[in-house]
Chain A
């Protein structure tokens, strides 16, 4: 299974 990560998995919300 391939999952698409999203950006908040890597970067914090300001």
Chain B
């Protein structure tokens, strides 16, 4: 038996909107730790890792570890039917081939339930070790989204370089080239508006903008984004989900040979 009650149901709606274009089908894993997912895009270039910790739910019952295969587009369709202020409860019985999403309006005058068919998904899980990164950039998520969108109108790839001067996003295309430099800026009114750069080593890596633009669909989840870079590793783009967990996107770099 599984029953997870999330008072801030809009978080789950935003999570689905942030990952459904990158991944079609995924297994949601439910354990005493929380509600989680790890899935790669069909090209195995990008990976999404989601964690919603059990403490973040108002009620969290998960009698035994459960993995539920879902089509994310169908799940998003159902969650779109929940109001932004609704409480969402996810329910599943042991051995059942369906999951139920229950939506309660804040005043309890409208209660809906949507039953979705589960699917068997043969997904490949990757072991991702905790790593020390050469550079970690924290910046406003809207700024990062703007940069990825702007650069993708010029080129297909972005080179992200971190030096002590700041973080530089560069692209080149048929019509020309663009460079955007963000300097560390901690003297802002609101901490979430700051750009903070922690650098151990200078880093320069190239990525497909098509994927970074997918990641920025998570912008509504968090006012800040953290970009962790090492010369020998995929980049990690992390959006924290208030008090509950995170959505992390991993993206393998492009390399020149």
Q: Which residues of A contact B (CB under 8 A)?
A: 1-14
- Are the CB atoms of A7 and B47 closer together than 8 Å? yes
Task: Say what secondary structure dominates the interface of chain A.
Answer: mixed
A14–B98 Cα distance when bound, in Å, is 27
Minimal Cβ-Cβ distance residue in A for B126 = A11
A-B contact count, CB below 8 Å?
Answer: 57
Contact pick for A12, options B44, B127, B250, CB 8 Å: B127
Contacts of A1 in B (CB 8 A): 256-257
Binding site for A on B (CB under 8 A): 40, 43-47, 124-129, 157, 206, 208, 232-234, 250, 252-257
- B203 CB → nearest A CB, Å: 15
* A4-B252, A5-B253, A11-B234 known, 12 other contacts, Cβ within 8 Å: A2-B157, A3-B254, A3-B256, A4-B45, A6-B252, A7-B250, A8-B44, A10-B232, A10-B252, A11-B129, A12-B126, A14-B127
Q: Is the CB of A4 within 8 A of B254?
A: yes
Asked if A7 contacts B255 (CB within 8 A), the reply is no
B82 to chain A, nearest CB (A): 32
- Smallest Cβ distance from A9 to chain B, in angstroms? 7
Chain A residue numbers with a CB within 8 Å of B47 are 7
